[in-house]
Structure 1
């Protein structure tokens, strides 16, 4: 019999991947044609599609102890007994964390909401009574007071403390505490039922018979009856006008009323609306519209690039070391735009499989499928409006290359509907598209420019369009007639259809490597700031130099790289070294990659502690570093304490003094010895997520620092294992 080969390749062929291949071959021998990674999610899980002779199936890779596969299996079986459509489990290896499950396809509810959203939402809401039957077949955790407080605490710790770096005054803490107490009472005062807890458009699959199936249900709990409906209608991925949400909320209320949860009177209706709104404000993952969004147009057929595009969508054609669309995603993320919508048509499923949910790029990707043909530019944007929200958004053609500085901070004038990026007319389009006079775009002018495919738009420009095929130019020309289109002209732009002329200009390797520049900045800054810290007390000791050299060797730097690192270290030692300017540059580039900035700060802490203690001057420099990178002094103190514990833990592990190391292990994970098992596991997963090598590299960590990230992860793993071992014996 012919041996089957796996097409998917993973660099280094890790032990984990080898186990995955072995699992598939054991349970599906002789039948697997290929194994392809399709996505990961916000946890440690990864998903692969395996194609057998008879069917496609999904392989879930959920490594223990980070994920609980047995719990997923138990809930899956209970949901099937409840009458909820979920993927069936075809094979399992609970000890190693592998499941083979039914492949439900690629069509999410979010993909079809552009047409007849009311029909789909009514069908989704109709699933909730069946889902509530779950407690008849299995026990679920309670969404109790402690649970609510943990959920609300994320706002204080991560948004206020980490993201905004705000230290609340006692009065502000009191106000926030009173608000949380009000929200808690409103949530816990509702009827308590089985709930999914992530019941939104990306966790509902559209089946071939147009029925909905439920996925990602492993966090189900018993909680407030409005929670799942709020997650669906105030979706964090899709935004609808308030009047539409109110209409669907009424449908949900009538459903609850008919089942006896609320009485049939106006007072009961007002109480329901209050329950719904307080749940939205207090707990459910809802759309907040805090940041600007962008849309990448990827629905073109690519006729001029055939035969290359016969089997690959045009935006997936490679430019240097990655595809064009990945260049756009990277630049958008670097500009602080991390909520991105991609439309697609021809071979669109390949785009979704390749890019996934965007987590490895440091962003959130949503998709707007248009069928096999596509809806033209304006029609595609109109269809995607529910995903784009009600604020101005960038749109960029997926098949161009540009160095135009996209920004999340630009604002349109109140009467402006569009802001276009124009370029010099290329040889194949000498007449151009539009004129430009004092920043206002005109239909024609004495000097014409070509529209680059990059624009900033208000949703209002497209709201009058009926669903269907629409070109963009007529809309723009109508807005130009009332001077509601502004613009700017730039130079660098490349249309992917220009093939031969681009090759003659230097080929696919000739363009700038933005990631290389960013990673070079990270490495240079690391050693320069280390040098500055080493000189903080006036004298660079042999211990400082040894630490820097050991760090270079730890990173596996080449001889040439070591010379560059040594030069950066020397520059940092200079009395007039512009420390604050350098840190501001670093934060500007990595401002949306908090985990990387924290790793940078942790490296500097290790240099400051090279002699086992922290001097006042070293502490002063560390405070400057932390402040410039957006970390509070409290956070710095926490990281210093954790570093001390990590150093003691490593030393005691080598000496095999586990009893002494136990306290350090707790401190390393950021918890106390009296924490619950749940709190311990949550802290462990948080630490592993922050220091996961693959995640940090995807965010821009230089490859040479991968070993450092691995060692940090191993320390965290060892601390967790020691605590678990101790608790098992207790």
Structure 2
């Protein structure tokens, strides 16, 4: 977490000359984050180094959210050629750690997160690419491209695509909304009386159930089925969403978690990040809950025929 080359000059040009640059966080991508401190002022420095990263989508989505009253970090300065962006600092009170330390607040904080999605649904989708059938298939395919080979399985690829195609018929009928795509407790910050949004640069225009899935089937922390049911009911009650929404919720839940299992395997096999496969058993549990739903029957049959129960879990441990 050494500050990027040019960071000091960038901060000087932005009016933050001589500021301390302290390591803050990295993530599964090439992006890194630093806290910048100058006297009583604090900001966050994003290092999104080209050609691996491009901060422009983050800035565009952030501006779109702020213009509509959502709490996204405001951009203080940027050098897009270097991939450096100075952002408003939302502090350290991340929803994940607050809920873990104060379990009594879990229901209220998840309700607040659901209410943001209700509000987001009231706006027409932003000028973002569509979350269409091609994208859904490409993401679901990550499981058979990375996970299945890692655990020694040769599977029916054409049958996999055909099974998902049937399910996607249920998730491509709703009026699209802006989908932030990584909406969960580690990307939500307690800011003032509400929640601030992070990690939304991959936003697309898609089904309103997707971000609810991301929140309630969280790959990084257990969300109890009772809490999931209560929050799904809260969203449906606030929006008037019917059973078609619930079918799409389960279909997208299975799709997202198949994708995540593939991504976690790729992070291990390709990128040398062995922490991520250890999260896969939780994701498998979410996936198997959704596979039990009637709308997932074709996909469930494929899984039953191609991935035995003893090959579902941490791919690193299974392959050992």
Bucket of the pairwise TM-score, normalised by the shorter protein: 0.7 to 0.9
Aligned equivalents of 1:226 and 1:104: distance in 2?
26
Q: Secondary structure at the match of 2:46?
A: strand
In structure 2, do the counterparts of structure 1 residues 96 and 25 end up closer, same or farther at CA, with 3 Å as the change threshold? Answer: same
Q: Secondary structure at the match of 1:79?
A: helix
Aligned equivalents of 2:90 and 2:194: distance in 1?
11
The CA deviation at 1:202 is 0.7
Contact 1:82–1:133 (8 Å) recurs in 2: no
Q: Determine the structure 1 residue equivalent to 2:107.
A: 118
Q: Secondary structure at the match of 2:221?
A: coil
1:193 corresponds to 2:177: yes
Contact 1:235–1:287 (8 Å) recurs in 2: no
Q: Determine the structure 2 residue equivalent to 1:273.
A: 246
Contact 1:93–1:99 (8 Å) recurs in 2: yes
Aligned equivalents of 1:22 and 1:175: distance in 2?
55
**Number of paired residues?**
277
* TM-score, structure 2 as length reference: 0.77
Aligned equivalents of 2:252 and 2:14: distance in 1?
44
In structure 2, do the counterparts of structure 1 residues 592 and 173 end up closer, same or farther at CA, with 3 Å as the change threshold? Answer: closer
Aligned equivalents of 2:199 and 2:4: distance in 1?
22
Aligned equivalents of 2:258 and 2:184: distance in 1?
9
Unaligned runs of 5+ in 1: 1-8, 11-15, 263-267, 292-337, 339-358, 366-387, 390-590, 594-628, 631-730
* TM-score, structure 1 as length reference: 0.35
Q: Determine the structure 2 residue equivalent to 1:159.
A: 147
Higher relative contact order structure (alpha carbons within 8 Å, sequence separation ≥ 6): 2
1:39 corresponds to 2:25: yes
Aligned equivalents of 2:230 and 2:16: distance in 1?
52
1:27-426 alignment to 2 at 5 Å? Answer: 27-32=14-19, 34-113=20-99, 114-132=103-121, 135=124, 138-161=126-149, 163-168=150-155, 172-207=156-191, 209-257=192-240, 262=241, 268=242, 270-283=243-256, 362-363=274-275
Q: Determine the structure 1 residue equivalent to 2:300.
A: none
The CA deviation at 1:47 is 0.8
User: Which deviates the most, 277-286 or 54-63?
Assistant: 277-286
The CA deviation at 1:56 is 1.1
Provide Cα deviations, 1:162-207, integer angstroms capped at 9, x if missing partner: x223222xxx334323321122212213332111111111111112
The CA deviation at 1:93 is 0.6
Contact 2:143–2:258 (8 Å) recurs in 1: no
Provide Cα deviations, 1:65-111, integer angstroms capped at 9, x if missing partner: 22122222121111100111011111111121110001111121111
Contact 2:77–2:87 (8 Å) recurs in 1: yes
The CA deviation at 1:210 is 3.6
In structure 2, do the counterparts of structure 1 residues 96 and 30 end up closer, same or farther at CA, with 3 Å as the change threshold? Answer: closer
Provide Cα deviations, 1:302-357, integer angstroms capped at 9, x if missing partner: xxxxxxxxxxxxxxxxxxxxxxxxxxxxxxxxxxxx9xxxxxxxxxxxxxxxxxxx
Q: Secondary structure at the match of 1:283?
A: helix
Contact 1:61–1:98 (8 Å) recurs in 2: yes
Provide Cα deviations, 1:454-507, integer angstroms capped at 9, x if missing partner: xxxxxxxxxxxxxxxxxxxxxxxxxxxxxxxxxxxxxxxxxxxxxxxxxxxxxx
Unaligned runs of 5+ in 2: 283-314
Aligned equivalents of 1:128 and 1:186: distance in 2?
20
1:433-512 alignment to 2 at 5 Å? Answer: none
The CA deviation at 1:221 is 0.4
Aligned equivalents of 1:75 and 1:177: distance in 2?
31
Q: Which has the larger radius of gyration?
A: 1
Aligned equivalents of 1:286 and 1:43: distance in 2?
16
Q: Determine the structure 1 residue equivalent to 2:310.
A: none
The CA deviation at 1:23 is 1.1
Aligned equivalents of 2:260 and 2:228: distance in 1?
12
Aligned equivalents of 1:271 and 1:199: distance in 2?
22
Contact 1:60–1:99 (8 Å) recurs in 2: yes
Contact 1:38–1:48 (8 Å) recurs in 2: yes
Q: Secondary structure at the match of 1:197?
A: coil
Contact 1:62–1:97 (8 Å) recurs in 2: yes
In structure 2, do the counterparts of structure 1 residues 125 and 66 end up closer, same or farther at CA, with 3 Å as the change threshold? Answer: same
The CA deviation at 1:44 is 1.2
Root-mean-square deviation over aligned CA pairs: 3.2
Aligned equivalents of 1:17 and 1:193: distance in 2?
36
Aligned equivalents of 2:130 and 2:74: distance in 1?
26
Q: Secondary structure at the match of 1:186?
A: coil
In structure 2, do the counterparts of structure 1 residues 141 and 220 end up closer, same or farther at CA, with 3 Å as the change threshold? Answer: same
Aligned equivalents of 2:148 and 2:132: distance in 1?
24
Aligned equivalents of 1:362 and 1:22: distance in 2?
35
In structure 2, do the counterparts of structure 1 residues 63 and 126 end up closer, same or farther at CA, with 3 Å as the change threshold? Answer: same
Aligned equivalents of 1:73 and 1:84: distance in 2?
14
Contact 2:16–2:38 (8 Å) recurs in 1: no
Provide Cα deviations, 1:222-269, integer angstroms capped at 9, x if missing partner: 011100111111111122332221121111111121xxxx3xxxxx3x
Q: Secondary structure at the match of 2:170?
A: helix
